[in-house]
Amino acid sequence: MADRITLQVARYRPGLDDEPVPQLYEVPLRKEWTVLDGLNYVKDYLDGTVSYRWSCRMGICGSCGMTVNGEPQLSCATFLTDYAPGPVRVEPLRNFPVIRDLVVEIGDFMHKLTAVKPWLIREEHRPLDLGEYLQTPSEMDDYKKYSMCINCMLCYSACPVFALEPEFLGPAAIALGQRYNLDSRDEGAADRRDVLASPEGVWSCTFVGECTTACPKGVDPAGAIQRYKLTAATQSLRDFLMPWRVR
């Protein structure tokens, strides 16, 4: 195996470039090196102007999401040897405005996350001296999968609906809403309903399933969306048949 590999990095510098242009860098090809390691080598030794996000290097923070050879990936968990002999094409996540090089604007994404109220909502909080809100293992299992989301935005980059309809609430936000709706300690499902069941919510999803394929944590946002569609449809039918129970 060769001892070097070429990274083809998309460069976009506001004020200098009208659109992203590829730039080639040769980096060491080592068995344990990821795409992020290659970019760090470029940053440290070849070109300190290359811009990208990263933090933990352990697939936990979700900040190093990029498009690697056309697929949304965590660059810290994507190994260079898998792409040998190269080149490895590294681009920003699709479907987001590019700020510079591999850095994308995430303000809209963060707004959508907060819109689903991703916290435990209680109508009444019991006194602390009464102890914790206990759960059975099966109650925890009901939402645990959806709690594994690291907000890496790979699912948004892979989603064809979000690509065409940027107002779509999106896979991660809906899965996070489900995480709390399914938590036995939470009483906020009705508060999230107007957002999740809106035209820009679950009903925009056409169930392509690319979000689940792209997810590095096995969250299955496509499954969360379809599950909430059933919940929303059932609740709408209940409201129609029993209007006196509508909050």
Q: Report how far residue 173's alpha carbon sits from residue 113's, in angstroms, rounded to the nearest whole number.
A: 5
pTM tops 0.85, yes or no: yes
The count of structural domains within the chain is 2
- What is the domain range of residue 174? 107-245
Look-up: residue for tokens 């898998």?
A: 82
Tell me the two tokens of residue 176.
Answer: 């996070």
pLDDT for 245:
64
The domain that holds 46 is classified in CATH as 3.10.20.30
165 & 231 share domain: yes
170 & 228 share domain: yes
Tell me the two tokens of residue 86.
Answer: 């190269």
pLDDT for 240:
56
Q: What are phi and psi of 174, to 5 degrees?
A: -70, -40
76 & 152 share domain: no
Mean pLDDT by 10 residues, the chain (247 residues): 91 91 97 97 97 95 97 97 95 97 97 96 89 93 95 97 97 97 96 95 95 97 95 79 64
Are 231 and 201 in contact, with CB atoms under 8 Å apart? no
112 & 196 share domain: yes
How far are the Cα atoms of 55, 58, 126, 218, 221 from residue 152, in angstroms, in the given order? Answer: 12, 13, 35, 13, 13
Are 131 and 195 in contact, with CB atoms under 8 Å apart? no
CA dihedral 139, 140, 146, 149 (to 10 degrees): 170
Region of residue 159 (phi > 0: left; psi between -120 and 50: alpha; otherwise: beta):
beta
196 & 235 share domain: yes
- Domain boundary (104, 129, 152) is at 104
pLDDT for 2:
77
